Amino acid sequence: MRYGTFVLTPDRGWFHPKETAFRDHDVTMVAIRNITLLADGTVVLLNELNGPTSNILDALAETEDDMIDYQLTDTDDGKLLRCHFHPTELVDSLLTLLDEFAVLPEYPLEFVEPAQSSLKLTLIAEEAALREMIDVIPDGVSVDLLRIGTYDPESKTLFSGLTERKREVVRKAVEKGYYEIPREVTCEEIAADLDCSAGTVAEHLQAIESQFVTEIVPAGYDTTARESMRPLGRS
């Protein structure tokens, strides 16, 4: 079994118009946690976003003609948007290729350049299928092949499951001694290196720590009691 990691960039700067609406409203697209093409030709998407709730809702209102329904949920690290919508021809073509070549995406799919909707994804399949699929990627999409290799699910770690930004933050925290005893650096000092606010660093580290602890707590402990997600929707 093989995997290929790619970056897909739509030449027009978006796969779906809602991406432009998000940018216009200062909403950052972080990752796609899941995406499914349904039998009726519509798509269900789970999107990780950063931005005020009001801005996200305003952006969605601008593309409501394509939207069937949605639910917006607060998390410790941002927002999760589940939306059911009518895809563009480009999105439909790309998702159809996954089925045609029996390719499995490994989530999350990361927006490495949100301003252009550049999406990094890892696909699992036979190498021949991966290379054949690249050859028939629709016009209007630039494809950068980063690597192809042997897929080993046992090599997956908690760290590799983080988004690129979270990995960057926790790498810097470890590098500068944030987790040494006693602690050798503050969130303010880490933030200065990453060109962001101390609050953003603290939020990322808290989310990472929560994710790691939840994963390693022995079976039998209740890790769902503190669930605080609140659904929002259109009136």
CA distances 83 to 18, 38, 68, 228, Å, are 11, 13, 8, 20
205/227 Cα distance (integer angstroms) = 18
230 within some domain: no
Together in a domain, 111 and 184: no
Together in a domain, 59 and 94: yes
Together in a domain, 50 and 131: yes
Give pLDDT, residue 1. Answer: 81
Spacing of C-alpha 57 from chain mean position: 19
**Six-digit token string for 145:** 């092949």
143 within some domain: yes
**Six-digit token string for 167:** 């990995």
Together in a domain, 190 and 140: no
Query: Which among 22, 166, 151, 155 has a CA at the least distance from the CA of 83?
Result: 22
70/81 Cα distance (integer angstroms) = 7
Q: 52: cis peptide before it, omega within 30°?
A: no
135 within some domain: yes
Q: What are phi and psi of 87, to 5 degrees?
A: -80, 160
212 within some domain: yes
Residue-wise DSSP of 18-50: HHHHHHHTT-EEEEEEEEEE-TTS-EEEEEEEE
Q: Show the domain range for 176.
A: 159-216
| Model confidence, pTM | 0.67
Give pLDDT, residue 225. Answer: 41
CATH number of the domain that residue 168 is part of = 1.10.10
pLDDT digit string (tens) for 161-213? 677 788 889 989 998 999 888 889 999 999 999 989 999 999 999 888 877 77
Dihedral, CA of residue 138, residue 139, residue 142 and residue 147, to nearest 10: 30
Give pLDDT, residue 75. Answer: 83
Count of structural domains, the chain: 2
Together in a domain, 115 and 142: yes
207 within some domain: yes
Give pLDDT, residue 224. Answer: 44
Together in a domain, 149 and 170: no
Together in a domain, 133 and 184: no
Residue 206 CB neighbours (<10 A): 12
Query: Is residue 56 within 8 Å of 81, Cβ to Cβ?
Result: yes
79 within some domain: yes
Q: Which residues of the chain have pLDDT under 70?
A: 153-161, 214-235
Residue 179 CB neighbours (<10 A): 13
DSSP 8-state secondary structure symbol assigned to residue 212: H
Together in a domain, 21 and 75: yes
Give pLDDT, residue 146. Answer: 87
Together in a domain, 149 and 163: no
Residue-wise DSSP of 126-191: -HHHHHHHHHTPPTTEEEEEEEEEE--GGG--TGGGS-HHHHHHHHHHHHHTTTSSS----HHHHH
Together in a domain, 109 and 14: yes
Say which residues have a Cβ less than 8 Å from residue 14's Cβ, sequence separation at least 6: 20, 117
Together in a domain, 42 and 133: yes
From 105, 134, 154, the end of a domain falls on 154
